[in-house]
Structure formats: C-alpha cells, structure tokens
Amino acid sequence: MRVYLFSEGGNSFTHLKKKKMKSQTALITLIMVMSLFILLLVSCKKDTEIAPTTTPLADSDKNALLFMLEEEKLARDTYIFLWEKWSITPFTNIKSSEQSHIDALAQVLTSYGIQYTILPAGQFADSVLLNYYNQFVINGSISSANALQIGATIEDLDISALDKYTAQSTNATVINVYNSLKCGSRNHLRSFVSAIVSAGGSYAPQFISQDYYNEIISSSNEKCN
C-alpha cells in the first residue's frame, strides 16, 4: 500500500513539474514576442521621426517653413469646411492628408528648435492666407462644383509655393519634406480635377504653368513618402 501511495505521489510531482516547465516556456516565449514587437515599434518610430539637430536653419528656410505650415493649414481648414458643407468624395480623405502635411512641417520646425503656433480653424497670421480662406469658403459654399474648383486651386497654389521654396533651399532635410508634400499635392490635384471632369467641368491652372499642369494630370498617381 505504501509503495502504491509513494508511486502515485511521484507521478503527481512529475506532472506538476512538467506543467510548471510548460508555463515557464510559454512565459519566456511571450516575453520574447513582446520584446520583438517593442523593438519593431521603436525602429519604425526612428525611421519616421526627424532627429533634433544643432545645425542652424537659414532664416529663409525658417520663414518658408512657417509660411508653408499655414498654407497647409489653409488647405486643411478649407477642406474640412467644404466637406461639412457638401460631403463630396475628394474631400473625405484629402482633408486628413493635409493634417499629415502639417505634421511633417511641424516636425522639421521642432527638430530645429523653432517655435510655431497653429491658430484655430479659419484663423491665420498671414493676411494673404486669411483672405484666401475667406474667399474660398464663400465661393465654395455656392455649389459643389465651385467647391471642387476651390480644391484644385489650393493644390495648384501649394505646388507653386513648394516649387518656389524648394528652389531657394539648400537644406537636404527641408527639400526632402517639400518634395514629399509636392508629391501629395500632385495626387490631390489629380483627384480634384478628375472629380471636376466627371461632373462635366474643367479646370484651368492659376499658379503653375499650363504645361506643368498637363504633365501632372496626364501622369498616374504617385506613391509618396
């Protein structure tokens, strides 16, 4: 009888030992998976963020970045207003994309330690941009067709300004951000013009040349960084 009880106890002990080992193995595996996931997150974050720099930024680049920050805000604020007014397709995704443009410019400014202020919707420090906004919301409120024309006009304006500031800069970081924003603006222009043409209308460029405009519209959408 004692042998039977000893044998049973030994089997129970062995079973508990194996169960404990399985639990430890599962815990170690979980920790390894979580560690790998955290490393991937940190890696992605490092790839997308611009590291702080001690290199001074030229005044011309600083002023251009601050202006473009508000110009991208002009696009975002106008698109949000027109989306709420008409709920038409091009504004659905593009209004969110403009926020990413603002974030990209803000990231560059932050990396150089430059302070900036993003005013509430519809407010702008630059009087020219403020006048544009007031004009755009008035004209865009007349009809959905007008709203699409406003969208194309803003992207036209953005591309023109970005081309100008790209040509004036020698800073690789700033130029890379401008090129990325231009890529997005070209895609946005294609979307607005496509919607205009589908509705039976047409768009004539107001800020970029006709040849440049034709080159953009005749090309396929681009994959932007």
Q: Are 36 and 94 in contact (CB under 8 A)?
A: no
Tell which phi-psi region holds residue 204, choosing left (phi > 0), alpha (psi between -120 and 50) or beta. Answer: beta
What was the pLDDT predicted at 60?
Answer: 97
- For 112-144, write each residue's pLDDT tens digit: 999 999 999 999 999 999 999 999 999 999 999
- Percentage of residues of the chain with pLDDT beyond 70: 76
Rounded Cα distance, 125 and 70, in Å:
8
What was the pLDDT predicted at 6?
Answer: 32
Rounded Cα distance, 49 and 150, in Å:
32
Average pLDDT, the chain: 83
What was the pLDDT predicted at 96?
Answer: 80
Amino acid in the structure at residue 169:
S
What was the pLDDT predicted at 51?
Answer: 54
pLDDT band of residue 213 (cuts 50, 70, 90) is very high
What was the pLDDT predicted at 164?
Answer: 98
Cα torsion 70, 72, 76, 81: sign: positive
Range 59-217: architecture per CATH: Up-down Bundle (1.20)
CA distances from 16 to 2, 5, 25, 161 (A): 21, 17, 14, 72
14 has pLDDT over 90: no
Q: What is the DSSP letter of 202?
A: -
Q: 182: which 2 tokens?
A: 């231009």
- The domain limits of the chain are 1-48, 59-217
What was the pLDDT predicted at 55?
Answer: 76
pLDDT band of residue 61 (cuts 50, 70, 90) is very high
- For 179-212, write each residue's pLDDT tens digit: 999 999 999 999 999 999 999 999 999 999 999 9
